[in-house]
Amino acid sequence: MKRFADPQVAAVFAAYPAPLRKRLLALRDLVFDVAAKTEGVGPLTETLKWGQPSYLTEATRSGTMVRIDRLKKGDGYAIYFHCQSGLVPKFRELYADIFRFEGKRALLFGPAERLPVRALRH
C-alpha cells in the first residue's frame, strides 16, 4: 500500500468502517498502479475534493480527476469521473455486463463485490 502524503486523506480513510476501508484502499492502490504503468500520466497528486479522496495528474495534466468514496446510500462504494470526460460512457459501451453505473459520472460497487480489476485497468 502506498503511504499517505496528506494526513487529511489518511484521516478520511481511517474513518471508513474496516470492511469498506479495505475495499477503498484496494481501489486506491489500483488507481496508483494504473497511473504508474500508463505512459505520459506521471505522478498523481492525492488530495481531498468535496471531502472525497481524489487523484489528479497535476504535473502532466494528462487526464481527468478521479475520486473514490463510499456511497451516500447503502453500503457500497464508487469511483467517480468528471461527467464530461467520456470515461463512464466508454466503460458502459465496453463493460455494460460488468459494471453498475451512476449516469455519466460513476462506476458503483457493492460492499462484497469483487473489484473487476482487469476491466478497470483497461
In a domain, 2, yes or no: no
Phi-psi sector, 118: left (phi>0), alpha (psi -120 to 50), beta: alpha
The predicted-structure confidence for 9-37, as pLDDT tens digits, reads as follows 999 999 999 999 999 999 999 999 999 99
Q: How many domains in the chain?
A: 1
In a domain, 1, yes or no: no
Q: In 3-state terms, what secondary structure has residue 108?
A: strand
The predicted-structure confidence for 78-104, as pLDDT tens digits, reads as follows 999 998 898 999 999 999 999 999 999
Rounded CA separation 87/77 (Å): 18
Range of the domain at 88: 7-121
In a domain, 103, yes or no: yes
Rounded CA separation 79/105 (Å): 8
What's the CATH code of the domain at 52?
3.90.1150.200
C-alpha cell at 6: 496528506
In a domain, 74, yes or no: yes
pTM for the full predicted model = 0.93
The predicted-structure confidence for 39-64, as pLDDT tens digits, reads as follows 988 899 999 999 999 999 988 888 88
